[in-house]
Copies of this chain bind each other. A is one copy, B any other.
Amino acid sequence: MNAPFAAPAIDPALVEALRALLGSRLSLSESDRAQHGRDESRHAPRLPDAVCRPHSTEEVSAIVKLCAAHGTPVIAYGVGSSLEGALIPVKGGVSIDMNEMNAILEVRSQDLDVTVQAGVTRKQLNAHLRDTGLFFPIDPGADASIGGMAATRASGTNAVRYGTMRENVLSLTVVLADGRIIRTRSRARKSAAGYDLTGLFVGSEGTLGIITEVTVRLYGIPEVMAAAICAFPSVEAAVDTVIQTIQMGIPVSRVELLDDNAISAVNAYSKLSLPVTPTLFFEFAGSQAGVEEQAAIVEEIAKGEGATNWRWSADADERNRLWQARHDIHWAIRAANPGKQGFGTDVCVPISSLAEVIRGVREDTRQQPFNTTLVGHVGDGNFHFGFQIDPDSPEEVRAAEEAYDKMVAHAVRVGGTCTGEHGVGLGKRKYMRMEYGEAVDVMHLVKNALDPQGILNPGKVLPD
């Protein structure tokens, strides 16, 4: 195995063949390799042996064929925003940087779909769509590539209304482990024709094939958007409000929960004076009459649960002010915890168990020296506790890991999952057997059938 900054341990014949294919779009430089060996996670970087920058599906196919002939790992790279080490080449090999495959191939406004090369980012796509009245709603925070979002089954704050990449990818072009190119599905809105290969590749984190083109659904931009915010006496009251809202079929676009610690941090950072208590942030979308009606119903539900300080607005500036605390939360937490590193978590549970699992984490971490802050995409039951730890303290790191292990075990026990949206990558492989039992063996059967050499992003998703 390579040490992180060793010279590349790649077959010179493979380098020569890749150079012939790509010219200067093959890079062996240490800086380039270093950039492609790390992500936004806490996992240790590991350099790839080479970086390729293809321009087409056919070039990706040619790269994979060459690597397959040499038994060399291949790992797709989008913008590097993975939070679980999904792109770190833990066994070396070739990083395929998709950023130069950034063409928006065809917008079909009547069909409400678009086909893009995998390197197109979501903000690039939405900027391109601006004049069509359509938009692509999936918003994981980072300006991720659409290919990376498909590969990790990304979602974000408005999954409660629009679903995740699972629901929004219609079709993929995929390069298989032997270099063959397939299209997983037609563009039809529904199909009962055979196995759902689109679904199989979405979320497979590059371990079953390399996604090179993506066709996703688009939506009409709502006529009016409105925001609301209100404070609750407890997490339970906030969660009960969300449960009733969803049961009534109110099509909220987003509903986010911040706990008292998070509100404290934001009050300090953004000079706000929000009540320091669990707080819900709502976004509504629709017609003017529709959003007014939605907001009125939710206000009534929330007040029935003891909410105070209800405020709402459909005015753009006022909306932004209401949501300012939510928008500023990451910077606020950083400012409130100088010298600390955020240890992020990501479980998703049935909403009936949400308050219980959150309470469990708070009890488990009460005695710890580090601060905890909760941000939840509460409509889906997905939430992120951030533990603000001293990265140089092995005790704090271990305590955070233990608290995370307990959180995941609790989530799985109540019918939830170890990752709502960040993916498995390196960090959650250890939870897969707990969550899936023998179903993990079926995943291995599929992996071995599609990648018998094990060259596609080895060491990810599945436990050994």
A: residues with CB less than 8 A from B are: 108-113, 133-134, 152-155, 159, 163-164, 166-167, 176, 180-197, 199-200, 202-204, 208, 219-220, 222, 243, 246-249, 251, 286-287, 289-290, 293, 346, 348-352, 380-382, 411-412, 415-424, 428, 431-432, 435-443, 445-450, 461-462
* Residue pair B111, A192 in contact (C-beta under 8 Å): no
Contacts of A445 in B (CB 8 A): 449-450
For A190, give its contact among B219, B348, B462 (CB under 8 Å). B348
Contact among B180, B190, B220, B382 with A438 in the assembled complex (CB-CB below 8 Å): B180
Copies in the complex: 2
Q: Which residues of B contact A164 (CB under 8 A)?
A: 190, 192
Contacts of A155 in B (CB 8 A): 190, 192
Q: Could you pull out 17 A-B pairs where Cβ atoms are within 8 angstroms?
A: A166-B199, A182-B438, A183-B436, A186-B416, A187-B350, A188-B349, A189-B351, A190-B420, A193-B424, A193-B436, A195-B461, A196-B200, A196-B202, A289-B289, A290-B293, A448-B449, A449-B449
- CB of A192 within 8 A of CB of B152, answer yes
Closest 8 CB pairs of A and B: A199-B199, A449-B449, A191-B417, A110-B352, A187-B415, A182-B439, A188-B348, A188-B417
For the complex, give the distance between the alpha carbons of A163 and B199 in Å. 15
Q: How far is the CB of A51 from chain B (nearest CB, A)?
A: 26
Set B111, B428, B462: member contacting A352, Cβ < 8 A:
B111
Q: Are B222 and A188 in touch, CB under 8 angstroms?
A: no
Q: A186-B435, A219-B249 are in contact. List 6 more A-B contacts (CB 8 A).
A: A108-B350, A190-B382, A191-B417, A193-B432, A196-B200, A199-B200
* Chain B residues with CB under 8 A of A381: 188-189
Contact B437 A183 (CB under 8 A): yes
**Most chain-B Cβ atoms within 10 A of its Cβ — which of A208, A290, A422?**
A290
